[in-house]
Amino acid sequence: DAKTTQPPSMDCAEGRAANLPCNHSTISGNEYVYWYRQIHSQGPQYIIHGLKNNETNEMASLIITEDRKSSTLILPHATLRDTAVYYCIVLIGTASKLTFGTGTRLQVTL
């Protein structure tokens, strides 16, 4: 599975868009990009995933570059409850070993 690189921490003002980058330059053609987040003291929670097209759901949008070497998770209107560690993961299929890096700690402030 491809490795990912994320900044260790980011800040965002409440109400503004939070744009969380992820680099996955060694991604292969059949690997998906997944995003999870972990709010303090809870288990990680799935946010969104995609292969090559941009995706949007009720939580977030995922923008994947044309060469698929990087992606951005967008929280359009961040709230204090979005303060969490965000993990970007790439993997093939559903039986792959699901491994997490150290993620990006997003702090949303007033």
Residues near other proteins (CB under 8 A) are 32, 34, 36, 38, 41-46, 49, 87, 93-95, 97-103
Q: Smallest distance from the beta carbon of 3 to other proteins, in angstroms?
A: 12
- Helix and strand counts by DSSP (H, E) for the chain: 0, 9
Whose CA is closest to 40, among 97, 110, 95, 103?
A: 103
Q: Smallest distance from the beta carbon of 39 to other proteins, in angstroms?
A: 11
Instruction: Report d(CA 86, CA 98) in Å as an integer.
Output: 15
Instruction: Give 81 or 97: the residue with its C-beta nearer to other proteins.
Output: 97
Instruction: Give 38 or 72: the residue with its C-beta nearer to other proteins.
Output: 38
Q: Smallest distance from the beta carbon of 109 to other proteins, in angstroms?
A: 22
Residue 18 identity: A
Give yes or no for a contact between 71 and 27, defined as CB atoms under 8 angstroms apart.
Answer: no
